[in-house]
Amino acid sequence: MKVLEKINENVGQITPYQPGRPIEDVARELGLDPDGIIKLASNESALGVAPSAVEVIKNFAEEAYRYPDGGAYALRQKICQKYNIAEDEVIFGSGSNEILVFLAMTLMGEGKSVVASEKAFVIYKILSKMTGTNFIEVPMKGLTHDLDAMAAAITPETSIVFICNPNNPTGTMVSEAEIDAFMDKVPEDVLVVFDEAYAEICLGDMPDTMKFFRKGRACLVLRTFSKAYGLAGLRVGYGIGPAAIVQALEKPRQPFNTTLIGQLAAAAALDDDAFINDSVETYKAGRELIENFCKQKGLTFERSYANFMLIKTGNGKDVTAALTKESVIVRPMAPYGLDEWIRVSFGKSEENQRFIEALEKVLS
Ligand SMILES: Cc1ncc(COP(=O)(O)O)c(C=O)c1O
């Protein structure tokens, strides 16, 4: 079609993000029973939806005809109270992913550069390429962000540095002391984005990064309801930062970007500490079970501080395909240059057990 010649060149060259495969999709392709398939591929909540949000979601049907409140008033109040911030210091997105899009529209483009770690969340790279931004990929120390090298990679053209902590897909963390030292080196004209999608269920000491914004530094802390609160399907994320930054990011935001049901469920889930505690215990147990299995089998793995981990299985693509045939969906890590690795999300104990049995079978 002739019009294809007019597609923006940067967009045309993008390889789209490859999400974890939906259960129904795998069931259709392989003729499997969807009820027998487990998905440990998208770092979703192992315990499902936060119970405090379930009733709200069930009772929503009669309200669906209304547009949502574009300002997300009730949810905004709750977030402001929880973090002791002002109303104009938070922005909501259709998942934190949409806030990354706002960042791309606001601070990326020809003549600018973005600094990120080589094996960090791939969306930073996709958005940079899509907007013609020079994407500076900094090698990791092992599978952890090398903050010294990242600070050194900043150029006068750099508009954003992304710190993904804990990092998806490696599960590794940088400490508060490392971040403090890094922040001392970052020039004032660079926005530091702390992508903290796993903060609430972090299995290590989660650094306090909001302190930088409170001190007036140019930074944005991204959080999501998708992971810890089990609301991935309702798409609500948020960013906290100085009012001037939030105001700039609000410009590309479309009026009804978060749904009414998403806002209601998120507001109900936000204080569900009991659910978060149960989730953390579940992830710790999952990590222990799978790490022990790896040790027994002599498989290399990376210690993770989130609800997933990387395992070096040899040919991750083939192992993922073989596991899928065993009705266990995980993620191959080739898109991150880790051809020999897979990423598995921690599930309920019976799911983790099924994963290790399937992996044992596939590897023998
Ligand atoms: C590090 C990181 N950031 C952002 C996201 C986007 O999550 P959501 O758009 O569901 O909030 C993800 C999802 O996998 C992630 O792992």
CATH of 53-269, one of 2.60.40.740, 3.90.1860.10, 3.40.50.300, 3.40.640.10: 3.40.640.10
Report CA Rg, the chain.
20
C-alpha distances in Å from residue 250, one per residue of 79, 216, 312: 17, 19, 41
Q: What is the mean pLDDT of residues 223-234?
A: 98
Atom of ligand 1 nearest to the CA of 196: 1
pLDDT tens figures, 171-211: 999 999 999 999 999 999 999 999 999 999 999 999 999 99
CATH T-level assignment (fold) for domain 8-48+273-363:
Aspartate Aminotransferase, domain 1 (3.90.1150)
Ligand 1 pocket at CB < 6 A: 43, 95-97, 121, 164, 168, 195, 197, 224, 226, 232, 237
pLDDT tens figures, 57-85: 999 999 999 999 999 999 999 999 999 99
Domain boundaries, the chain: 8-48+273-363, 53-269
Tell me the C-alpha distance between 342 and 320, whole Å. 7
Distance of CA 277 to the CA centre of its chain: 20
Atom of ligand 1 nearest to the CA of 235: 10
Query: What 3 state SS string does 12-57 have?
Result: HCCCCCCCCCCHHHHHHHHCCCHHHCEECCCCCCCCCCCHHHHHHH
| pTM to 2 decimal places | 0.97
Rounded distance from Cα 101 to ligand 1 centre (Å)? 12
Q: Which of 42, 97, 127 to mutate to test the pocket of ligand 1 (most atoms within 8 A of CB)?
A: 97
Atom of ligand 1 nearest to the CA of 98: 9
